[in-house]
Structure formats: structure tokens, C-alpha cells
Structure 1
Amino acid sequence: MTWAGGWRGRWIWDRAPREAYWWRPTDPADHLIYLRRSFQLDEVPPRVPARVTCDSRYVLYLNGALLGRGPVRAEPEFLGWDEYDLAEWLARGGNVLVALCRYYGRAGPWWVPAAALGTLGRGSFCLETARDCPVELATGPDWRALPAPWLPREGGDMHGLPPEVVDGRLAPEGLHDPDVADERWPAAVVVSGHGHGTVLDRPPAAPYSMPLRRPIPLLRSSLFEPRLVRGDIPVRAALGEDPARAWSSTHADADGDRRLSVWDSGGIRLGHVRLMVDAPAGAVVDVVAGEDLRSDGLPETRPRQWSARYVASGRGEERICFFDPVGLRYLAVHHPTNARVSVQIEETGYPRPEGASFDCDDEWLTQLWRAAARTVDVCSSDAFLDCPGREQRAWIADAYVQILVSFVTNPDWRLIRHHLALTASSRYPSGLLAGAAACDFARIGFTMPEYSLHWLRSLASYWWYSGDEPFVRSLLPVAEGIIDRYEQQRAPSGLLENFPGWVFLDWAQTDRDVVTAAHDALYAAALTDYATLPGARDVTDLIAATASAFEALWDPDRHVYTDAIGAAGRSRRMSQHTNALALLAGLVPADRVDGLIERIADPARSSVAGRLVVTKTPADLREGADAHDRVPVFQYQPPEGFDVDRDVVAAQPWFCRFLHEAYFRYGRRDLILASLRRWPLDPQRGTLQEFWTADPGASSRCHGWSASPAYDLTSYLLGVRPAAPGYARIVVDPGLGPLGRAAGRVPTPHGWVSVSVDDSGVRVDAPPGIPVEVVSAEAERFGG
């Protein structure tokens, strides 16, 4: 609907903090409250539109029913607001609206604080119904504020927030009962900006000066019952105040005073953990989650170390849903012997419509496609997440793979648009983008510069698939700012030299120095993609300058591009990364292509008979107190046991995205298929992990950047791709290789296209009016 005029609802909270200004520091703290409003209705209207926002997050209930959670992550200036139609949950007579609100206090993986101004910027909530709605609701001092039973916690690490600890004895009784009057609780307090602007106590007001309507649907929410795999194990634990430490002390003991149970959700899921507890008052129930099992059959909680605690009120069966979601497969709960506990998962994620498919006569490849699609599903929330368990940050680079996979698995591309706009909003004055958007990592003083190049290539892919010219043009200045910043780093050599920041590339020990060859090649590829955008500047000379200068990396004796140039000259180390990007960017003269592909695809068969070496990743660095400190530097160290004259550094699953694009450019779909067969597929887990190998607890078992197989199988093997922006034309170019049959259903802006390929030919069912080019000797055409 259209919301006319400004907001009537006012910012409210449970208290007004000390007024703050930019010159007066504040001491923000994590804080959870309930805000409540009861009201009477003689009749229920057919529609009751409402909009709501909160800093930091809310959970909205009406008459005890969960309506939704929000808002989406954003830079504070663009704080999001959500819409609901309340009519479905209203009743004649008494009604009660409740918001559980949390202000995080410090930046974390999915939130960054606003600058405090006046009494705003340290927790606020606003809700209103539409102006012409017969149900008049607007936040103000007539609402009630109640303390939520979450205890204050400090700490947390780079992977998340401190454990949630909820004391049920502090929970207000009758919270969701409309017959319980508001007057028993204190009035909410209006919070406001100070002095800067004509509207200070409602949106838009600094520091939330441009609140944005939610650009994506509300996340799906469904209850899942995990399977009990071990129950009532007698244990002992030193409880203390921290459930994570209590878990580390938990051990089997036949005479133990606590009981431990383990549940399996059957695969990696993103969701809110729910407990159902029947226990005496003060009984402590701890829950932990993990993606793996340890050798003793209990959940391995690393790397996230997620845990939570509930202290029973003793009021009969109690239900608690912890505030923030976590990615998990296994849950364990330990509790006193006189308590009864069960668990549920409120699974959440972006609501992908059904319809996309891939199937072939190799069941393993079919399962790989499904696992890749599922991986992106689990990593799709209010942004594309790197992983659901360890971090949940909205990284720019990871999303490149997830965007491509979404093009072939999801007809709803709103999350793609949102992620591109969100990451563009975390832009530095230099023109580069933060490595991850709207989070702590966007405020750390440096970025991964090449992540901005992945953003630019993501934007170009969106243009090619969607043909959405207005949106693409709106982001063109961001793309041009990235190029301008890169050109400032081009040295007289014609190459990028000493680029500040973390030139990440991949979790692999490629050589990095004054000149990092893969960085230059990726820049050339990004320039080529930028040139396809509507309204793009002419960058032909920039691409040519890189192509000419890149010759300095060519090793004529080994017929390969080396990884770097430093003070001592050209390095000896070589990698799939540098050479795949050189091929992808078109920097390789035609007479070198075949030999170069052979060299990086199978070094053992090349003239120098080397090996393809998988080097260390962070999964190999988890031992020792300094493990975290070693992560930023190990990439710059030479790999162990590596013959620098003969061996080639192998791409991890993430960087295989670019390896496969390079192979496809030169018609080597056979090598793409061979590469796909390396993927570590675990059908029971149902998702794809971060690295080729990792011990339990050493990495993420569901990582969006590893989902390339879904795109590759649909676009390269089945061969369905746009032949013009926005699928104005469709090309179907199957390349099955040894497969005898393949079929799939692919979304386009015009509807679905279905393709099946077997010995009898190619059959296509495409949206009416869309030309289809079938690159095959035999084709049967339906529709179109």
C-alpha cells in the first residue's frame, strides 16, 4: 500500500538514556524489553495495515501469535521498516499487541549502531496503523514498557554475540493476555533526537534520516521437530554464569545430578531454538548447538560456540524462544534430573518459491545440484549470508556465487537487488565497499579491495539476467567509484601495486607481493563486465593497459603466469587462481590457451609434471592460543612441501567459481564436470561445506560460496542461459559429455523455461514470445 504523509507513531523505549551528542561519549549496553498495547474492538475490519521499525531488532506478537521479525539489516541511516496486515489475528473484544525488542549495544555480525543523538540511538521502537484505518494504533506514552527476562551479558567474539541467558522467574505473567490491563506496567518513554531537524521524535529523524521500506518478503517461519538420538545421559557440569563454559565442563558421570540429551535436525538449518521446560523454580537448563558431532557423540560447538540458558520459573510448562537465530544440525540440552525438557527449531529463511529443478542420469550430480540449492537457501535471510552458523555476515564476495545460483533456482530476485543495494550502502569515501555490509566488519579500518570487484561483477550478472535498467543505472556511480579508486592504484608498470587492505583472493597460499597477478586479472575481468552495463563509460583503454602490462607475469620457460612480482622480480609460485583469472579476463593470447589450461587443470600431465596442491586453510590453524592471530598472516607464507618450480596451488571451492568460468569460456565443459566431482557431498547433511576438507568444528558445513555446482550444472551442462539482457533471447546449449540424459526447469523474468536432453534430442518449453536458440543438431520446440 501507499503510506501517505509522515509517521504518526513516535519512537518509544522503556527509558530515556542520558542525552548524547557527537562530542559526548555514551556507554551503550545490550538490552531487551517488551512494549505492550492492549485495545478493544467492536468489529474487526477486513484490513488493518501497520508499519513498524526498531533499532536494533523486534519480534512482533498479536494476541500471542507471532507476526514476524525485523527489520532487515541496514546502515543506520537507512533503518528498515516492515508492513503487516493485523486483521487476521484480531478479535472482537480485547486484543493485545506485544513487541519484544532488543538493542545490541555493540556492533556485531548483522548490526551496526547508529551515532547516538539526543535520546535516540540506544534503543527505539515505532509502530503505527494506516491513517485511514479504523483501528488507531500509534506508539507513544500510552504504550507500556516491561523488562524482558533476558539477563545483561557482555563479551562475545568475532563469530557472534554472548550467550543468551533468560530467567523465567522474571517473565511477566499475562503478557499476551488481552484481559490483563496495561496499567500494571510502567508507561513507555518517548525518545527523540535533539535540536537538528523539525521532526525529532518519529521517523524520519536523525540518526535514522532515510528509513527504507522492506525490499524483500518477510522471512518464512516454520516449526521443526528434531529427532532425539540420545537421551537422559547422566552428567555433571560446573554451571557458573556462562553456559558455554558450563558445556566445556560437562562430562559423563553415572552418579551425575544432571541429564543430557542430544537431538539431530537431519541437516543444517537456520533457526531460533525453542525450549519446552517443566521444572522447579530456579532449575538451570542449558542448550548448545553445532554442525558436527564429536567423537563422543555430543555436538561440536566450534567454531561458533553457540549456547544459551533458561532458568525455570516453576509455573508449569514454560516455552522460550531464543532471540537470535543460529545455524545448526545438532542440539544438546542438559538439566536437573527433576526437569522435563524438549526442543524445537523455528526454522527461518528467505521464502524461495518452488519450481526450479535439475535432474540427470547421474544421481550423484543430481544430489549435488540439490545440495547447492539448499546451501543457498539456508544462507538466504535478510541478506545473502556467508554461513548460517559461524558468522551470518553479509559478505560481498560470497554473494557473487549465491546470486548466480539464485538466477537458476529462484524466480524471486528481490534478495539479489537488496543485497546489491545493501552492500553498496556500506561504501567508503574512497569508493571501495566494505568487505561485509552493515556490520562490525564494515567499521574495522580496512577492506578487501577485490571484494568491490566481485560486487561489480555481481551487478553485471544481474543486468544480464534481469535487464533491470533503472536499478542498474541507479548503482552505476558506485561501480564507477570502484574503477576510479582502482585507477589511482595503477602504477607506471601498468599494474596495481601495493594495494592497501587485505587482498584476500581465496583461503589458499597463493603468492602476494607488490604486484599480485590474480588481483590485476580480476580487475580486467571486472572492467570487461562493467563495459556491458547500460550507460557505462568506455574502459577499452584500461583493459588494454592491463592486458599489455600483464605480460610481465608470463614465465616463458614454464608456459604459465606466475603469482606475483616483488622487489626481487617475478615470483616462481603459480596457481590456478592467477591463471584461471587471466583466462577468464581474456588476457591470454590464443596460442597459449590450450597449454595453460592443461598446466593448471592437471599439472602431472604437463611438461613439468607437477602436482595440484591444496594448501593450508584456517581449518588447519585451529590449534594453539594464537590460532586466530595466525589467520591474517598464513596466506602470505609459502606452502609447506611445495615444489615452487613444478607444483600449482589449487583453488578451494570458492575460487572454483572463476576456474569454471574460465574453462567455459574456452569450451572445456569436460574440465568443469571433472572439477565438480571433487565436491565433498554429504547427502545426510544436505549442504556444501566451506573447504575441501576440515575436521569437525574447524569450518562451516554450509557455506554459500561453495554452491557453484547448481549454477554450473544448469548453465553449462544443461546449457540454459540468457542470450541478451533480461532473457530477451534464450540460448539452450547442452554439453552433457558422458551423461546420457539431463533435464531442468529454470526461472526467467518472463516465466519458466523447461529443457530436457537425451539421445533423441533437445526439447524446450519456453515462455511465449521469447526467441530460443538451441545449439544442437536435433531440437523439438514447444511454446515460445
Structure 2
Amino acid sequence: MSKVKSKKSKVRITFSVYLVLLTATAFIVSVFIYLLIPLDVYYTSSSIHKSFINVALFLNTHFRLFPSFIIPFLSSQRILGFEKYISFSLLYLTVGIFTFFIDRKRKIFWWYILLSPLVFLEVYIRLINHNLDIMFTPYLNLVIAFVLTRQKSVLKIILKIKKYGNLLFLLFIVYLMFTYFNDFTYLPGKIWKGKWIWSHQDEKDQFLVFEKKLLLPPLIRLKKVPLTITAKSIYRLYINNKFVGIGPGPIDDNNRYFDSYDITKYLHPGINLIKIEAYNYGDDSHFQKKQTGGVLAQIEINSLFFRTIIGTDKTWLVSQDSGWIRTGPKTADGKTYGGEIGTSVLYDEVFDFGVQKRGFNLSDERRAKIEDNLFPRDIPALDYTKTDMKKVDKEGYIDFGEMMVGYPIISAKTDGPAKIIINYREDEKSVGVQKDEFIFPGRGNFVHQNLGRRGFRLVRIVWEKGTGEIELGVETVRFPAEKIGDFKSSDDLLNKIYVLGEKTLKLAMQDQFEDSFIHERSQYLGDSLVDMLYGFYSYSPQILARKALYQFASSQRKDGLIETVYPSSLNQTIISYELMFNTFLKYYYLYTGDLDTVKDLIGNGEKIVKSFDKLKNEQGIIDIGTKNDLEMGEVLTFWIDHISPGDTLPSINLSLNALYYQELDSLSYLYSFIDKKKESVFEEEKKILSQKLQVLVSGLNKSQGKVEGHAAVLLINSGALGTELESEIYNTLFRQMKQLFVTGYFNLFYLLAMEKMGDVDGIKSLVKEHWGGMLDRGADTVWETYDPRVENYLPGSKTHAWSAAPTYFLPAYVGGVRPLSPGWSKILIKPIIIGQSAKTEVKTPCGKIYEKWEIKDGNFDITVNKTCQGEVSLVLPFDIEKGKQITFTENSFHLKIPLSN
């Protein structure tokens, strides 16, 4: 009997010591790390130490057991290289030694002997191959726990121990929690276990390749494997040589986006290769400020039995691809479009296949703090689609049939040493050209995909040396915008013009609204405003519009002004664009009903308006004649219509005051939903400015002065002058002048002024001359500028979405479908009769709207079907019923009016 008790006692001691040793070691290591090592010292971390951190984080997240100030301390990133693996192996070795001396019957020890070599094998592999992460240890922890629980004597002892049984069992459960919750708490953007890495040679204009190998056990069942990544400046991610994504998206100077991908489908048991191609622009560019290089990423492995995180650190291999030789970006070298078109942002790549082979070294682990200003991507991932490869038998142009935006792929088979040049063009006559060079060392097959994005329709291949065969394709990139609008007319020219703008807008919608995806690739405030309007009748712009508003607001300076090209290195203040922020916000709210965004940003808009007090003269009118700079000393660029409006200073001042009045009107409108007191303040300011402008304009008319074209358009649209004075300006000036505005951007404002004045013939003429003229000259996207009076007119860019005005104007004014109150809760139907019929479809936040009118059998016939529950105000065309208004709430409405009435 005593012998049995002795055996049980030994087993009890063995098991107790094992559990206590494991738990105590974890506790002591954690206490030592957190309490004894100075904060500024990089320290070691065992797997159990990381488990301790994450159990604490898990418990705090779900049960609030720890004060909030402890968590940032627990989640510190100070881990030194591979010492954590050594400490981990020493922990197992210590357990083995104690087990040997205590477990005389070797019931547990032999299991330990059988399993421990795998632990040391993992440590050994990690030490000799820094780049390989393997996933054995979590399984081994579970196996040891399983073996212990299978020992009958151990189970009996656990059940029979009275004094210490509960404590030991609790310690055992805690150990399992350490195992299971290893790296459990994963909060993207909040807790980063990766570190910024780059090469030891921190040069600008660098193209680097980072690699990491991950060994997954054969029987692993992955649940979900999210990968989080960002870079300075751009990255392209591959898993097992399969393309995953490109990023990050452009953001303001003080923040940075990170992207998240579920890479489960790319992984398999065995060795997996994680590859990141990264490029740092180095120098300032039109759409990016100078920054040091860096890549930051982490992978969360989730399986049935364990979770762990692998982050970028100095174990990642890095190579500078010497085959990729960039000549550096060519940034716009004029002031505002002051240089030749060919000096816009072009990125020429040179790739030498002869030195393509890379030699890898360990990454340089940046000791920079992981910023608190890393934010998850707030827009959907872009769509990527590969085209078919096109074979080039000889030198000449490849016509892709339409404008392409994406990443070219070249496949070459050379007969010997060779060199080719690839030119990317909008058409054969385009001035701005992007160019790549490829150098081939000898006979062979070569494949390469650009990291730099290209915009083109035509590609010209030039063999400078050697012969061979070339195939060229492109991986196109698009923002995944939903198609929410359509317009059809009996006039096929109007249909083609609508589609022309729609197609251009779709190309320009990338990570942001890009003014030109070939040249600047920048987000301008004025361009973004009109692009948003175009999108509400074609491809949903809400996500990009909201992003743009927040980004422009984030650029606001102490003096109240914002950067009107942003993100960018230009620090450019376009004064007319400053006076469009609140109008942008107003139309965004009108079409979306998103009041939260208005509440967030209206304060920024108010500061912009107040900043113009410095530019007012003694009469309280904006006058930049003597005040052309502000607090920070920069010269303000006046940009109403492309390069220069050609207007005199008095007319420029009138234009600015018209825009200023419109901003006051927008603030008054927006505050009517938020703060009635502020609404009345801006209403009063509007009233005072209106009176002053009416006196000023009347005085010009009486003194045979001149209200020049741009000012006249903006004053009419602003509503500051009143009906009588607006008619006087329009009748004395516009009916005598030929269309002189060369941008489709400003011609939008011209169309709106003509609609307000009821000049239907003028609208027909402008649409067909300006945009129809582009089509006659072979346009397949809208041009940046166009002057029908100039033979063989050559615009700066033949793909510029700011000129897509008819894509908005035709459905909104010819179709006549517009929101009358925020979120389309009230709807206006007010068509213009151009052609014999028009059909408009719009998907709104409150539902779909279908409207069709036609002239048929001597009647004006109009049908409206909607799923919105709001009220509809139908305003009949003036030339049919003199603007008679009919209100209805039914979801279906049909009206037929004889034209004779």
C-alpha cells in the first residue's frame, strides 16, 4: 500500500513541478522583461512571453481586467533578433532537466525526449535560415499537453488532490491559454508586430525586392490568414509568385494608409514565398512628397489549433534589383502648367535583363517608431484585369483600341543581345510620351512587368539593337465604382458625347480623382468637384468624393487656407479652388444625404471663407489688386479656366466675389441643417455682398465698362445679382460673343448659365461644337482643352475627366432629374427639350428613379417611375407650359400634354 502511495506521490510531484515550472518560468521571464530592462533597450522575447502579452490584451479587450495605460506598455515592439528562439529552446531544455531528475519512471520524460528534438530543430532552422518561419512549436505545445492528460495516473491525481488540485488545474488551463492565445489579439493599425524595413543603403529612387519564406506543416488547416501592409512610397505584393495587390493609396502628408488582404487562398502546406516589390520615389513629385523608403507588413496565421503573427523585421531578405535602372521622375517644371506639356510627370524605366539576378542580404530594420497615424484603407481595393498579349512582328504601333491605364507586361524572345524602347502615347501626335527601355544580354526568353503605372492607347516598339519577337499586354487598374446612372437620347450624337465623358471619368477614378492619369496624376479640388457631379449620373463617386473632402480639409493651415492640389509636393494654393470647398460639400450632401461628413468638415469650410477677409478692400469686396499674398507669403494662383482666363484685374475680382458669394450661400444652406444661428449670420453676409456687387456691376454697365466672360458666367450662376441684372449682362454680352472657353471644365459653368437664362439654342450649339467637335476629330475620351476655331488643334492631354461636363449636364438638365433636398428626399424633374426624346436612370440613396420624356404624335409625353418615397416636383419645359409646376408623391406618374397648348 505504501508503495502505491509512493508512486502516486512521485507522479504528483513530477506533474506539479512540470506545471509550476512552466508557469513560473513564463511569469518570471515576463516580469523580468517588463520590469527590469530599461525602456530604451531592445530585448529578447520567448514565445510564452508573447503569449503573456496577448492573453493580457485579450482579457483586457473582453473583460477590462487591466488599466488602459498598461496595454501600450505590454504591446511594445522591442524584440531583438533571434535571441527569442534561443531563450525558447533554453526553456524547453530546463523543463527536460527537471523532468529527468524528478520523473524516475520516465513516463513523462520519454515523451519529452521524443518531442523536444522537433523544438530544437525548429530553433536550429530559424538560426541557420533567418528568412524561414516555421509553424511546429504551437503543435508541440498542444501535443505535450495532450500526452499529459492521457496519463491515467495524472488524471487520477488531479481528481484526488484536495489541497492543491484546483490550483494546479488552473495553472494547467493557464498554460493551454498561453499556447492557444499565442499572438491572438490582432488589431490592424493599432498593434504592429512588424517593423519598418528597407535596405542598408538608403538611397532615393530605389527599387527593392523583399522576401520571406513561411513553412506550414503538412496537416495544417488554415482558417483565415490576413496580411497587412504599407510602404513608402509604393509596393506590389506576391504570394507564391501570384499577384495579390498594389498600394498604398495616396494620402495626406501627416498620415499613411495600410492595406489588408486575406491571403489564405494563396498559401499551401510546405514552403511559401512572400515577395514584396517596393519603390521609393525619393524626390518630390506632382502627387507625392519626398520621404524615406520603408516597408511595413505582418501576417496573421490562423489555424484550428494556433494563431501567430509574422512581421517584417531584419530576418527578411532584401535585394536591390540592379536590372531596374530608373532615370528618376520628371516633374512639371513650370509654375502652373508653365512648361511644355512634355515636362509633366513622366516616369521612364530602364530594365537591364543582363544584371537581373539579385543577391539578397538581410533587411535594415528601421528603429523608427510605428506611427499612430497609420489608417486602414478607407476605400475598396482597385480592380485589376489582364488583357490578352499582343504580338509585335516588327517595329510600329500597337493600337489597344481604347485608352488603357495599368501596368504593362512585356514578353520578349531575343535572337541575341538586344535593346528595345517602348513609347506609350495617347495617339500618334501626342506630345507627352512615357518611355521604357529594355536591355537583353543575349538569346533567350524574358518577361517583365512595370512597377510604374502607364496611361496610353498606342504603344510604339523600337528595336535599337538586335532582333526577336515581342508580346505586350497590360494589367489594367480601375476603381470598382458601381454603375448608377445612364442617359439615352433620340439624338445619337448626345449619346456618344455622354459615353465619351463616362468612359473618361471611369479611367480617372483610381485611388482618388486624378486630373490626368497620364500626366500629373493629382487630385485637384476643382476637378474633384466636377468629377463628383459627373459620377452621380454614371459611376458612383461617393466614396472618392468623401475621401477627397477629408483629405483637402486635413491640409488646412493656420491661416485657414487649404492646399488645392493634395496630396502633392506643390503646396499650391489656387485661389478660385479655395472658393469651391463649401460648394463641393454642399453638392456632396445634396446627392448623398451624409450629414455626418458635413458636421465634421463645415468648420474647415468656414475657416476658408474667413481667411478671405484679408483680401477685402475698404468696401468689403475681395480685391487682389494690391493684396496678392497672404500670411505665409505665397503668391495666389488665379485659375478659373486653365492656363489664364485672359481677363482684366477688375473682372478677376468679380469672378472671385461671385465664387465667394456662392461659398456664403453654401455655408448658409449647410448650416440650415445644423445651426440656425450661423445660418442667419451667413444669410446676412450674403445679402450685404449681393447689394455691393449689384452696385458695382451696375456702375460698370453705365460707364460702358465690361463684365468679361468668366465673371459674367460666375455672377449669373451665383445668384448674387438678381434676375434683372443677370438678364442685362447676358443679353448685352453673351448673345454677341462666340464661345471662347477652351476647357470642358469651364464650359460646364457656361452651360449652367445658359440653362438659367433659358438659352436652349446656345446649349445645343455649345454641346455639339465643343464635345461633338472632339468626336469629329477622333476623340475616344474627352480632351483637356479644345478650340474648334483652330485647325489641327492639339490639346495638352487627350484624356482629362474635368471636361466630361455633358455626362452630368445631359441627364441632370436635358433629362432634368436632380435632387431638390439632401439624399434625394425630394426630387426635381425639370427637362430641357433637345431632340425628340430623352431617358434618364439614376440610382440614389433612397432608391431608383426612371424618367423618360418624348415628343410624339403632337404631344409632350413624360413618364416617371421611382422607388424613392419622396415628393417629386415636375417643372414642365418653358416652351411647352411656361414652366408650369406639378407636385406628386406617387411612385409612378404619367403625363401627356398637347404641344398646341
TM-score scaled by length of structure 1? 0.78
2:738 is aligned with 1:612: yes
1:185 is displaced (CA, Å) by: 2.6
Range moving further from structure 2, 676-685 or 716-725: 676-685
Question: Which one of 386, 389, 398 corresponds to residue 263 of structure 1?
Answer: 398
Paired position in structure 2 for 1:542: 685
Post-superposition CA distance 1:50-85 (Å, at most 9, x none): 211101111111111211111111123211111111
Matched residue, 1:682: 775
Secondary structure of the equivalent of 1:539? helix
Tell me whether 1:578 sits opposite 2:674 in the alignment. Answer: no
5 Å-filtered alignment, 1:644-655, equals 650=741, 652-655=743-746
- Which residue identity is paired with 1:535? I
The counterpart of 2:811, out of the listed 711, 714, 731, is: 714
Q: Is the 8 A contact 1:764 1:781 kept in 2?
A: no
Q: Partners in 1 of 2:562 and 2:242 — Cα distance?
A: 40
1:548-587 correspondence runs (5 A): 548-551=691-694, 553-554=696-697, 572-587=705-720
Counterparts of 1:130 and 1:457, CA distance in 2: 44
Please tell me whether the aligned partners of residues 742 and 786 of structure 2 are also in contact (alpha carbons under 8 angstroms). Answer: no
Counterpart in the other structure of 1:191: 366
Equivalent residue letter for 1:713: L
Q: Displacement, 1:573?
A: 5.0
Larger mean Cα displacement after TM superposition, 704-713 or 311-320: 311-320
Match of 1:368 among 497, 520, 523: 497
Among candidates 607, 613, 623, match of residue 487 of structure 1: 613
The answer as to whether partners of 1:433 and 1:451 remain within 8 angstroms in 2 is no
Deviation at 1:11, TM superposition (A): 0.8
What SS does structure 2 have at the residue aligned with 1:654?
helix
Q: Matches of residues 319-338 of structure 1 in structure 2 within 5 Å?
A: 319-335=447-463, 336-338=465-467
AA matched with 2:796: S
Residue 313 and residue 495 in structure 1: after superposition, are their counterparts in 2 closer, same or farther (change >3 A)? same
Note if contact 2:235-2:248 (Cα within 8 Å) is conserved in structure 1.
Answer: yes
- Distance in 2, matches of 1:155 and 1:388, equals 15
- Indicate how the Cα distance of structure 1 residues 269 and 146 shifts in structure 2: closer, same or farther if over 3 A, else same: same
Aligned counterpart, 1:178: none
User: Could you say what the CA RMSD is over the residues aligned between the two structures, in angstroms?
Assistant: 2.8
1:37 corresponds to which of 187, 208, 212? 212
Task: Tell me the CA shift for residue 698 of structure 1.
Answer: 4.4
Partner of 2:378: 215
Q: Give, in whole Å, the separation in 1 of the partners of 2:804 and 2:559.
A: 32
Is 1:473–2:564 an aligned residue pair? no
Q: Distance in 1 between matches of 2:795 and 2:892?
A: 50
Letter in 1 for 2:488: D
1:15/1:281 CA distance change after superposition, 3 Å: farther
Shift of 1:227: 6.7
Q: Which has the higher contact order (CA 8 A, sep 6+)?
A: 1
Change (3 A) 1:172 1:696: farther
Alignment partner, residue 633 of structure 1: none
Matching residue of 1:764: 864
Residue number among 807, 819, 829 corresponding to 1:732 in the alignment = 829
1:571/1:489 CA distance change after superposition, 3 Å: farther
Matches within 5 A, 1:6-405: 6-15=191-200, 17=202, 29-41=204-216, 42=218, 43=220, 45-114=222-291, 122-130=292-300, 134=307, 136-148=309-321, 149-154=323-328, 156-158=330-332, 159-172=344-357, 185-193=360-368, 200=369, 202=370, 204=371, 209-225=372-388, 232=394, 260-279=395-414, 282-294=417-429, 300=430, 302-303=431-432, 305-314=433-442, 316-335=444-463, 336-405=465-534
- Three-state SS of the structure 1 residue aligned to 2:404 is strand
Q: 1:728 and 1:659, CA in 2 relative to 1: closer, same or farther beyond 3 A? A: same
Contact 1:460 1:532 in 2 (8 A): yes
Which of the residues 745, 748, 754 maps onto 1:657? 748
Maintained 8 Å contact 2:193/2:309: no
Report if the CA contact (8 A) 1:277-1:341 is conserved: yes
Q: Distance in 2 between matches of 1:717 and 1:543?
A: 30
1:155 is displaced (CA, Å) by 5.7
2-side partners of 1:740 and 1:491: how far apart? 51
The question of whether the paired residues in 2 share the 8 Å contact of 1:763 and 1:782 is answered with no
CA positional deviation for 1:594: 2.8
- Partners in 2 of 1:226 and 1:674 — Cα distance? 43
* Partners of 2:623 and 2:841 in 1: CA distance: 45
Segment of structure 1 superposing worse, 307-316 or 743-752: 307-316
Secondary structure at 2:811 match in 1: helix
Give the distance between the partners of 1:780 and 1:476, measured in 2 at CA. Answer: 32
Q: Cα distance, 1:516 vs. partner?
A: 1.8
Paired residue secondary structure (1:397): helix
What is the distance in 2 between the residues matched to 1:749 and 1:88? 35
In the TM superposition, what is the alpha-carbon distance from 1:448 to its structure 2 partner? 1.1
Q: How do residues 505-524 of structure 1 correspond to structure 2 at under 5 angstroms?
A: 505-507=640-642, 508-513=644-649, 516-524=653-661
Distance 1:540 1:290, change over 3 A: same
Secondary structure, counterpart of 1:153 in structure 2: strand
CA distance in 1, matches of 2:260, 2:347: 30
Please say which of residues 483-492 and 769-778 is displaced more in the overlay. 769-778
Cα distance in 2, alignment partners of residues 2 and 661 from structure 1: 49
SS at match of 1:76: coil
- In the aligned structure 2, how far is the partner of 1:769 from the partner of 1:2? 41
Q: Which residue of 2 aligns with 1:743?
A: 839
Equivalent position amino acid for 1:480 in 2: E
Question: In the TM superposition, what whole-angstrom CA distance separates every residue of 1:503-562 from its partner, at most 9, and x where no partner exists?
Answer: 111135432426621111111112111221143632123223322222454266857xxx
Larger mean CA deviation between 307-316 and 579-588 belongs to 307-316
Residues 153 and 341 from structure 1, CA distance in 2 versus in 1: closer, same or farther, beyond 3 angstroms? same
Deviation at 1:701, TM superposition (A): 0.6
CA contact (8 A) 2:354 2:441 kept: yes
Q: Deviations over 1:450-475 (max 9, x none)?
A: 21112221111101111111111111
Distance change (3 Å), C-alpha of 1:571 and 1:75 = farther
Q: 1:412 to 1:388 in 2, by over 3 A?
A: closer
Alpha carbons of structure 1 residues 542 and 225: separation in structure 2 relative to 1, 3 Å: farther
Q: Using a 3 Å threshold, how does the CA distance of structure 1 residues 341 and 4 change in structure 2: closer, same or farther?
A: closer
Question: Does structure 1 retain, via aligned residues, the 8 Å contact 2:786–2:793?
Answer: no
Structure with higher Rg: it is 2
Gaps of 5+ in 1: 18-27, 115-121, 174-183, 194-199, 233-259, 295-299, 560-569, 604-610, 615-649
- Please state whether the residue corresponding to 1:503 is helix, strand or coil: coil
Instruction: Write the deviation string for residues 421-473 of structure 1: whole angstroms up to 9, x where unpaired.
Output: 1222232332112231011222xxx5112211122211111011111111111
Q: Could you list the runs of 5+ residues in structure 2 that have no partner in the other structure?
A: 1-185, 333-343, 630-635, 877-883, 894-901
Contact 1:269 1:329 in 2 (8 A): yes
Q: Indicate the SS of the match to 1:60.
A: strand
Write the letter of the residue equivalent to 1:513. Answer: L
- The alpha-carbon deviation at position 99 of structure 1 amounts to 0.9
Greater fraction of residues in helix: 2
Q: 1:774 to 1:45 in 2, by over 3 A?
A: farther
Which range is displaced more, 331-340 or 471-480?
331-340
Query: Does the 8 A contact of 1:762 with 1:780 survive in 2?
Result: no
CA distance in 1: counterparts of 2:811 and 2:872, whole angstroms: 16
Q: Which amino acid aligns with 1:459?
A: L
Cα shift at 1:131: 7.8
Change (3 A) 1:284 1:598: same
Contact 1:753-1:764 within 8 A present in 2 as well: yes
2:294 counterpart letter in structure 1: S
Query: Residue 288 of structure 1: CA displacement?
Result: 0.7
Partner of 2:103: none
Aligned 8 A contact 1:669 1:716 in 2: no
SS at match of 2:410: strand
Distance 1:669 1:212 in 2: 49
Given that residues 30 and 103 in structure 1 are in contact (C-alpha distance below 8 angstroms), is that contact kept between their aligned partners in structure 2?
yes
